[in-house]
């Protein structure tokens, strides 16, 4: 699969690196465009927990301003090395082959992009102190839900429910495609 022509060059490079690495799970273009738009509103340091092969990072970079830095951590060393290839000559991006917790002392972040595949790592309590006041947290890979409380596979989606009701954040679920949604939360 090749990327559509309107995909930024850095994202195209990330798709190519992912293909060579045999990695097929990555940030959707719809989510990526949202990340680029949000990154364009930020300054300071942004972070991503769970780099994969760097597609989400590339989308953040495509929208980032000249005064931003993007830190991203990937636990799988092979994937981290592949993602590092995309940003070799880019001083605004640092890809670490490490657990996301290594970024704890590098915040607070103006934007934090999380994959909620590990609910403990994506909980409000685990990240609230990592985001600056007015900072944005983006969580992807949700299936849209039109009811309350939100359900996933017949069970209450407590992660989504907690993010949408926590008083430390103002949050919304946004559909990026008929089968995909993201949570966007701004720290109060």
Is 40 a member of any domain?
yes
Q: Are 112 and 136 in contact (CB under 8 A)?
A: yes
CATH number assigned to the domain comprising residue 22: 3.40.50.150
pLDDT at residue 65, as a whole number: 96
pLDDT at residue 1, as a whole number: 44
Is 114 a member of any domain?
yes
Q: Average pLDDT of each block of 10 consecutive residues along the chain (188 residues)? A: 71 90 82 96 95 93 96 92 94 93 91 79 90 96 91 90 97 95 97
Overall number of domains in the chain: 1
pLDDT at residue 5, as a whole number: 58
Is 4 a member of any domain?
no
Domain carrying residue 26: 9-187
Per-residue 3-state assignment (H helix, E strand, C coil) for 42-101? CCEEEEEECCCCCHHHHHHHHHCCCCEEEEEEECCHHHHHHHHHHCCCCCCEEEEECCHH
Distance CA(55)–CA(120), nearest Å, equals 23
Contacts of 74 (CB under 8 A, 6+ apart): 50, 51, 52, 80, 83, 95, 96, 97, 98
Instruction: State the first-to-last Cα distance of the chain, in angstroms, to the nearest integer.
Output: 41
Sign of CA dihedral 94, 98, 103, 105: negative
pLDDT at residue 151, as a whole number: 87
Is 178 a member of any domain?
yes
If one counts every other C-beta atom within 10 angstroms of the C-beta of residue 23, the result is: 19
Is 45 a member of any domain?
yes
Distance CA(27)–CA(140), nearest Å, equals 8
């Amino acid at each position: 699969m090749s990327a559509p022509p309107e995909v930024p060059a850095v994202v195209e490079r990330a798709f190519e690196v992912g293909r060579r690495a045999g990695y097929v799970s990555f940030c959707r273009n719809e989510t990526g465009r949202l990340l680029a738009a949000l990154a364009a509103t930020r300054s300071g340091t942004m972070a991503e927990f769970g780099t994969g092969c760097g597609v989400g990072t590339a989308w953040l970079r495509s929208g980032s301003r000249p005064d931003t830095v993007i830190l991203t951590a990937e636990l799988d060393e092979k994937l981290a090395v592949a993602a590092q290839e995309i940003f070799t000559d880019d001083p605004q991006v640092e890809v670490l082959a490490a657990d996301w917790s290594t970024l704890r002392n590098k915040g607070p972040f103006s934007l934090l992009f999380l994959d909620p595949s590990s609910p403990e790592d994506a909980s409000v309590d685990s990240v609230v102190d990592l985001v600056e006041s007015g900072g944005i947290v983006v969580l992807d890979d949700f299936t849209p839900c039109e009811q309350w409380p939100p359900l996933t596979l017949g069970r209450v989606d407590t992660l989504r429910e907690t993010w949408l009701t926590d008083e430390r954040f103002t949050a919304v679920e946004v559909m990026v495609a008929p089968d995909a949604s993201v949570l966007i939360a701004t720290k109060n």
